[in-house]
Amino acid sequence: MPGRRSLLAATITLPSLALPARAQGGFPSRPIRVLVAFAPGGQSDTVIRLLAPKLSEALGQPLVVENRPGAGGSIAGGAVAQAPADGHTLLFDSFGFLIVPFLVKGLTYNHDKAFAPVAQAVSAPYVLVVRKGFPARTLAEYVDYARKNPGLAYGTPGTGTVGHLAGALLASRAKVQLEHIPYRGGPESARDIAAGNLDSAIGTANSFRPLIEDGRAIGIALTSGRRMGSLASLPTIAESGYPGFDLTSWNAMFAPAATPAPVIAKLEAAMRTALQDETVQKRLKDAGNEPNFEGAAAFADRIRRERAVVKQIVQETGIKPE
């Protein structure tokens, strides 16, 4: 009889214990929505669309990419923060993810606690460019012009982006007055540069390399600490008179904060697999990126370090929320 009782208990208990494992093991059970924080054709959009086929292949479900531009990425971020934490709604964002809490007013969610890092995909510098015909070809000439013409405008992909922060930091270090003009994404500012309607801009190589190559814009300097990407022939701001200047962007995947660890692990593994594909690597490099996988734990550490750097820069520049 004791043996029968033990067997009966095991029969009743084991299925209930197995249910969570089966539920997590079934992820993903439907298409995965990836919300992109910026406009179609921009850096973040380009990177995720290059990765999407291989991510879909690795996960066994389609990835549906949706662009939700605006407010430095906080519109897309807010939608993902409020989504079910089951891995089927994700955020694909940039370094601006770290800047949003400091510079975007009226957030409807706790930005620092709303997300779980999944993986970093690429690193990429931003580039300072000027329109064709602008009377500057070097950073020294650009700064000299800004001193003589206070309020020189620079466009960026939006409030709370690397371009926004880089312009504020350059203005602070060079002791000049620059006027920030936020756009809804890099392609929009690139169009105004090409048309001659904007004097300068700070954006990604993905947005500005074609204009630089065909002479519709002049590349001045990279925001990264070292020369990198498809515009590595340009000097950095750091080597052009401002040592230590380093704002290197990245693109990465995030999930809602309460997403189960096994789901995060499966998404992380899919990103690693996608980035190992040679064709994907080449296309990412052609778009001005350095494929640079970093898993959830290491990327979470990076976020903690770089958030402290952003806070310091915001304090140094006195930049205000918009």
Concatenate the DSSP letters of all residues of 296-315 into one string: HHHHHHHHHHHHHHHHHHHH
Q: Looking at residues 283-304, what average pLDDT do you find? A: 93
Instruction: Decide: 266 and 88 in contact? Cβ < 8 Å.
Output: no
Helix residue ranges per DSSP H, the chain: 2-25, 43-59, 74-81, 96-103, 139-148, 162-174, 186-195, 205-213, 261-275, 278-286, 296-317
Last residue of a domain, one of 219, 240, 261: 240
Query: Is it the case that residue 88 has pLDDT exceeding 70?
Result: yes
Same structural domain for residues 70 and 138?
no
Last residue of a domain, one of 240, 273, 305: 240
Q: Looking at residues 237-250, what average pLDDT do you find? A: 94
User: How many C-beta atoms surround the C-beta of residue 215 within 10 A?
Assistant: 8
Q: What is the pLDDT of residue 212?
A: 96
Q: Is residue 20 part of a domain?
A: no
Same structural domain for residues 117 and 257?
yes
Query: Is it the case that residue 107 has pLDDT exceeding 90?
Result: no
pLDDT, the chain, mean:
89
Q: Which of 66, 87, 117, 67 is nearest to 23 (CA)?
A: 87
Q: What is the pLDDT of residue 18?
A: 34
CA 30 – CA 159 distance, rounded (Å): 34
Residue with tokens 């006195």: 318
- Omega of the bond leading into 28 within 30 degrees of 0 (cis): yes
The letter for the amino acid at 208 is: F
Q: How confident is the model at residue 135 (pLDDT cuts 50, 70, 90)?
A: very high
Query: Is it the case that residue 129 has pLDDT exceeding 70?
Result: yes
DSSP code, position 60: T
How many structural domains does the chain have? 2
Last residue of a domain, one of 240, 266, 284: 240
Q: What is the pLDDT of residue 25?
A: 59
Query: Is it the case that residue 106 has pLDDT exceeding 70?
Result: yes
Q: Is residue 26 part of a domain?
A: no
CB half-sphere exposure, 318, CA atoms < 13 A = 5
Q: What is the pLDDT of residue 288?
A: 84
| Domain span at 93 | 31-124+248-317
DSSP code, position 62: -
**pTM (2 d.p.):** 0.79
Q: How confident is the model at residue 185 (pLDDT cuts 50, 70, 90)?
A: confident
Q: From residue 305, how far is each of 98, 173, 196, 308, 310 by CA, in Å?
A: 10, 22, 39, 6, 9
